[in-house]
Amino acid sequence: MSHHDKDEIVIVSACRTPFSRFDSAMADIASIDLAVIVMKEVIARVGVKPEELGEINYGSCVMAEMALETDIPVRQAALLAGWPPEILSVTLDRACCSSLTALRLGVRAIRAGEAEICMSVGSENMPRMPHLVPGLRKGVRLGHIRMLDGLFELGYGAKGFAPVAVDAGEVALEYGVTREMQDAWACQTQERYAQAFSAGKYKVGEEIVPVVIPQKKGDPVVIDRDESPRRTTLEALAKLKPVYGSPTVTAGNAPPISAGSSAILFMTRRQAEAKGLKPLATILASIGTATKPRDIPVIPALTIQEALKRSGLTIDRMDLIEINEAFAAMPLVSTKILADGSEAKWKALQEKTNVNGGAIAIGHPVGASAGRITMHLAYELQRRGGGYGVASICGGLAQGEAVILKV
């Protein structure tokens, strides 16, 4: 093995909590506390000590939920975990891209020689987000008090941007991706998840770490599986009305609002060998992109193309693809772009995209999702005896993030 190979960056451990339903028992646990669970677990699994961590980058973007504990959630989480106060950490917000951006910044720190072992974390509790009462601090002399729900539309309407669901639906139609296709994808993703779950692909000790919630009386509540997946039919999906003025996006072909956290531990191959750790995957490329806000369903494809260019690989070399299902429009539009006009290739790419289901079934706690698709890709490549894979995600106002893994 050459000196160069030993400088490669490898993932040695990765885990996540189950992703919750909206009305789950998890909905009352602060995103900081969900993060502590995966942060402790991801190092415990491989015997890495907290003081060995060079840097923790942590993605979270539902600011109003974090605000219940003020700010700097990662600093709080590291201290609550009982870790040494000297550990460097950063909380970042790049919308749904955040936990992959966190990984990319750690990769950069290792390459720059500033750290040898890094952790990327993503954590979010969307159901716990409080309502907001602007203007109350000044007082109201007369009249009604307005209360805002930041979860509603999950868009950027306050500054005049269109709801994400509207952009996604309109652009999907321009690419010839119909409402029917989006419903069919949603139905398929639920089916794929159910089959993968039955086959033991979402088991505790691999991707999943349980959330244990102590009760005042009796045994604790243990959540050890994703709570949202449910079998559905095309007929049931077809009856749903589009949301927020979108031409195609419904509650059925979009992910449920969810809570959850994810963590990935990575280091140079040299470090992994010195510790006797078997890598889960090698990180070949990790990149961020952005484009005009309306093109949000397109950005995963653009980011994948950019990552492939950087690593000298082609889409045909990818054995598996993960594209986060912000809506069903995203994997469909993006695989169509990657197919470059070939109907047969489009079908083939869809076959190897989100093979065990995606966010429409599992949920999309925004800060944690990019970490989930990355680790799921690594574990599934492992199960298949190795290969190449790419994971990509779009984030608010058309930001992108992608990672190419080799197992």
The 10s digit of each residue's pLDDT in 222-266 is 999 999 999 999 999 999 999 999 999 999 999 999 999 999 999
Q: Is the pLDDT of residue 153 over 80?
A: no
The pLDDT, as a whole number, for residue 140 is 86
pLDDT-derived band at 152, boundaries 50, 70, 90: confident
173 within a domain of the structure (yes/no):
no
3-state secondary structure of 262: strand
What is the signed CA dihedral for 201, 25, 151, 294, rounded to 10 degrees?
0
Determine the Cα–Cα distance for residues 378 and 389; give it in Å rounded to an integer.
Answer: 8
CB atoms near residue 12 (< 10 Å):
23
Mean pLDDT of the 172-201 span: 98
> Can you give the residue range of the structural domain that contains 48?
3-129+254-406
308 within a domain of the structure (yes/no):
yes
Q: Is the pLDDT of residue 1 over 60?
A: no
Mean pLDDT of the 136-150 span: 89
DSSP class of residue 358? -
Q: Is the pLDDT of residue 2 over 70?
A: no
236 within a domain of the structure (yes/no):
no
CB atoms near residue 311 (< 10 Å):
18
202 within a domain of the structure (yes/no):
no
Q: How many domains does the chain have?
A: 1
- Active-site residues: which are they? 96, 364, 394
249 within a domain of the structure (yes/no):
no
Q: Is the pLDDT of residue 3 over 70?
A: no
pLDDT-derived band at 150, boundaries 50, 70, 90: confident
Written as six digits, the tokens of 158 are: 């306050």
Order of strands across the sheet that contains 320-323: 89-92, 55-59, 117-125, 259-268, 9-16, 281-290, 399-406, 388-395, 320-323
pLDDT-derived band at 404, boundaries 50, 70, 90: very high
Determine the Cα–Cα distance for residues 252 and 179; give it in Å rounded to an integer.
Answer: 11
Determine the Cα–Cα distance for residues 284 and 311; give it in Å rounded to an integer.
Answer: 6
Q: Are 57 and 121 in contact (CB under 8 A)?
A: yes
Report angle CA 49, 264, 295 to the nearest 5 degrees: 155
Q: Which of 147, 104, 17 has the alpha carbon at shortest distance from 306?
A: 104
147 within a domain of the structure (yes/no):
no
319-337: buried (b, 16+ CB within 10 Å) or exposed (e) per residue? Answer: bbbbbbbbbbbbbbbbbbb
Q: Is the pLDDT of residue 4 over 90?
A: no
The pLDDT, as a whole number, for residue 158 is 87
The pLDDT, as a whole number, for residue 54 is 97
Rg (CA), the chain: 21
Query: At 58, which CATH number?
Result: 3.40.47.10
| Contacts (Cβ under 8 Å, ≥6 apart) of 239 | none
The 10s digit of each residue's pLDDT in 13-30 is 999 999 999 999 999 999
Determine the Cα–Cα distance for residues 18 and 34; give it in Å rounded to an integer.
Answer: 10
Residue 397 has φ and ψ, to the nearest 5°, of: 60, 35
317 within a domain of the structure (yes/no):
yes
Q: Which of 259, 211, 280 has the alpha carbon at shortest distance from 9?
A: 280
User: What is the enclosing helix (H) or strand (E) of 399?
Assistant: strand 399-406
Determine the Cα–Cα distance for residues 297 and 292; give it in Å rounded to an integer.
Answer: 11
CB atoms near residue 8 (< 10 Å):
16
Tell me, yes or no, if the pTM score tops 0.85.
Answer: yes
The 10s digit of each residue's pLDDT in 33-92 is 999 999 999 999 999 999 999 999 999 999 999 999 999 999 999 999 999 999 999 999
14 within a domain of the structure (yes/no):
yes
